[in-house]
Amino acid sequence: MGSHHSHTSAPATDGGSSSGSGTSTPRGGSRRGTGRSGSSDSQAQEKPPAPSLVPIEKLAKLLVQKSQKEDGINGVTEKVLTKYVFPLYPELARYFHSYARRATSARAQHVPLAAFRTHCERLMVLLDDAAILEAYVRMFSADDEGGQVKREGVRALLHTCYKLSMDHYPEGPQTCLKIHQTLSAVVDGCFGKADTHSVGFVVRWLQENCPRLILPVHRYCVHTLATRHRELEAHIDGNGDGAGLELATPVLERSAWDVHGVARGLLPVSVAWLLAGALPPLYSRPHAPPAPPPHDPHRAMLASAAWVARLVCALPSHWVLLYTSREHGLGANRFLHHTLGYRGPTLILVQGGSKSEGAGAGGVTMAVASAQEWRESHQYWGNNECALLQVFPVLAMLERAPKMLYLNTSIRGYPRGLRAGSDPRKPLLSIHEDFEMMEYRGTPYSLDALEVWGCGDTASRETQLEIKKWQIKEAERQRQVKLSPADWMEHPDRYLLELAGRPQYNNSAS
């Protein structure tokens, strides 16, 4: 039977004769029966529809009213959806409306109220990351019937994610000159030379290489669908900017930007956005939102906004530049001086220029993510949140495993340099001890640039600076210490000076 709750006055003879299950009561019997069976059958016929989410129900009705008034159509049109729900993101509105329309069998250019409500509710209840990825990959596919996704669709989805993140950047909307190169790295890494792939293939690739990159779009849609009806009911012409919504794009330290506000070096803001979506949450772990003042008259409203922020989004952590070869010089001692002592997760960006022609010509940019403090050792170390990625020319998560990092510049009898890869006999990335050459999968590259970014909280950086201050003071104290004649007679420096031809130096010192 169809929508029985909306056709209670229709004759029930067809339903009684066609069911054949013995549980339906003919029309005459249901009228005469006054017992339990007749009462239960009447309740079944008058059963109300399944309850829907109240915000979605209100929003759907308001959009239908707008469509009837402006377009003369009894449904939700793309024009109304764009104007009143996603005015800043018309591309998102177009794919969202097309996906909702494809879910119905109708060929009309609008979405009926019930279908729109169902479509929104299905998105609202998505909690599993894999299900969220599949839903939005299907949304941005050209045709859901064949289950195929084109390069243009994935690029449009990524660009929507990027624009959302940049519009909600804590320090104001941002732009990046390398965004097209960044998007091409992801799309080329997924599709290679192909033009289309199945939805399942794209979803699996995103899960393996950048599993958190698409999630901000879902957060934004959930936030907008749940709150937009309030502005429409109050006749407020909002711009759909998601006020109070902040996404987990790391905030780069301003010292890494030039006077024109453009990021210098290896980590422009688009690459930071990409790496935050590819790495585990540890590297972009949010700070707790600040509590509203106790005597603020809008405390209840601010507390509600903070709760929505924790539910829907995340306040980003700040990435601080610890070391850059462009300013500090390229060398092992410079790297160790600026990197060791930082007790938080770090991200090392390595740029290599190819020394050979053919495959790999043109250089490569790698990212080494360490969840622990860097240290020198003759053994491999690290937990399961350490990772090695290729960023350019195409994005690829090469490995994520424990005990895959190695750093040794002073221990004799063991390989020296910096290495990444769980196989000690064949590491994926190897930087020579002189920090002039590197090898990636056996291919030699010149080491052109190297940067280290601290991804921890402010306390991690302050602790490192305090340790360095103590080391400088201790070295200065040791330099100025005065030795007694008895101590000088047994001091090893005395014997070195005598070997150098200064045997009477101790007498003059005493």
Structure confidence by residue, pLDDT tens digits, 130-141: 999 999 999 999
The string of pLDDT tens digits covering residues 59-87 is: 999 999 999 999 999 999 999 999 999 99
- Which of the two residues, 170 and 10, has the higher pLDDT score? 170
Residue 247 pLDDT > 60, yes or no? no
8 A C-beta contact, residue 420 and residue 402: no
Mean pLDDT of all residues in 252-259: 51
pTM: 0.74
- Which of the two residues, 84 and 465, has the higher pLDDT score? 84
156: which residues sit within 8 A by CB, 6+ positions away? 91, 95, 140
Residue 400 pLDDT > 70, yes or no? yes
The string of pLDDT tens digits covering residues 264-319 is: 689 988 999 999 999 998 888 755 444 555 555 555 544 544 444 444 333 355 78
The string of pLDDT tens digits covering residues 199-225 is: 999 999 999 999 999 988 998 999 899
| Three-state SS letters, 55-67 | HHHHHHHHHHHHH
The string of pLDDT tens digits covering residues 347-380 is: 999 999 875 544 445 789 999 999 999 999 999 9
Predicted local confidence at residue 174, as pLDDT? 79
What percent of the chain has pLDDT above 90?
49
Residue 158 pLDDT > 50, yes or no? yes
- Which of the two residues, 490 and 41, has the higher pLDDT score? 490
Q: How confident is the model at residue 460 (pLDDT cuts 50, 70, 90)?
A: low
Measured CA to CA in angstroms, residue 115 lies from 99, 105, 139 at distances of 11, 10, 15
The string of pLDDT tens digits covering residues 99-139 is: 998 877 767 889 999 999 999 999 999 989 999 999 999 99
